[in-house]
Amino acid sequence: LGWWLAGLLMYVSIVGIPFGRSCFEIGTFAFLPFGREAVRRDELTGGGDVGTSPLGTLGNVLWFLLCGWWLALGHLATAAALIVTIIGIPFGIQHVKIAALTLTPIGRTVVREEVADAARR
């Protein structure tokens, strides 16, 4: 829910809309992580958009510098705490996947693993 709240706050300004969309993607991934994977939208659709353009790269650099790295560290710390317990191992693995997404989320979308595999072929 925190990711979705952050997304709503980002949508308040026009400049924050790409960041807000990424927050919603990460929030959805956090709620439904099993059997899903984050992929680049241009790999999925075969065409580019603003998020996969150089402007999206600039947005990812800003995201990484301002909040991406510490959000990823938070997810990695949560993953480490979960992996210590046997029952938490699958959840810890999912937090590692979410941490990778939080580093550079702009231009990525979350899809089922079958769709991601088909897009890579």
pLDDT greater than 90 at residue 10 = no
User: What's the pTM value of the predicted model, to 2 decimals?
Assistant: 0.79
Instruction: Give the per-residue pLDDT at 92.
Output: 94
Distance CA 39, CA 105 (A): 10
Separation of alpha carbons 6 and 68, rounded Å: 13
Average pLDDT over residues 15-38: 86
Residue 112: strand pairing partners = 36
Q: What is the pLDDT of residue 34?
A: 87
Q: pLDDT tens digits for 40-71?
A: 888 887 777 777 788 888 988 988 998 889 88
- pLDDT of 83 reads 95
- Residue with the larger pLDDT of the pair 91 and 41: 91
| Domain spans, the chain | 2-120
